[in-house]
Amino acid sequence: MDETRRPDIAGQLAEAEARCAARGGRLTRLRRRVFEFLLQCGNPVKAYDLQDALRIPGKRMAPTTIYRALDFLIGHGLAHRIDTLNAYVACTDRHEGHQPVLLVCSLCEKSVEIADADASGLTDAALAGFLARTDSIEIKGACKQCAANAQPGTP
Ligand SMILES: [Zn+2]
Ligand SMILES: [Zn+2]
């Protein structure tokens, strides 16, 4: 994760709203809060973290409510699911309906989306009849920082 990157959260929320409206979807209050939380974190977030963060005192929020909001965001290209971490991350590319290529660090559980990379280019040419059922490619490993911190000889 690039420490110098300062995402313009208000701008991204406004853009998300416009994108959803253009596609006939509505960025409801809850969906907006979920997306805002993903933007603020910048890193992959687990569903139960969202459930905790968005909890209204005295009110229980059903996990399905969170999952439905996440599905909406994913469907509108605003967020991606990272299977490896069982977590969700805001899309940092602005590619409509793209299949992201994500670098996932298994040590610090951060992820970086490769800009302008789209896995959907693989479907016909490279898969040779294989019916892919994934909407992303996750490259697992150690991020630059974790790799630098790791002592030689330890996994
Ligand atoms: Zn993306
Ligand atoms: Zn790392």
Q: How many Cβ atoms sit within 10 Å of the Cβ of residue 63?
A: 11
| Domain ranges across the chain | 9-149
Give residue 11 CA to ligand 2 midpoint distance, Å. 28
Task: Please name which ligand lies nearest the alpha carbon of 111.
Answer: 2
> Class for domain 9-149, per CATH?
mainly alpha
Residue in this structure with the two tokens 């709203």, named with its chain if needed: 17
Give residue 150 CA to ligand 2 midpoint distance, Å. 10
pLDDT for 102-143, tens place per residue? 999 999 999 999 988 777 767 666 778 887 777 789 999 999
Whole-structure pTM value: 0.84
Q: How many C-alpha atoms does 94 have within 13 Å on its Cβ side? A: 5
pLDDT for 34-84, tens place per residue? 999 999 999 999 999 999 999 888 877 888 999 999 999 999 989 999 999
| Torsion angle of C-alpha atoms 66, 32, 37, 11, degrees rounded to 10 | 160
Give residue 85 CA to ligand 2 midpoint distance, Å. 13
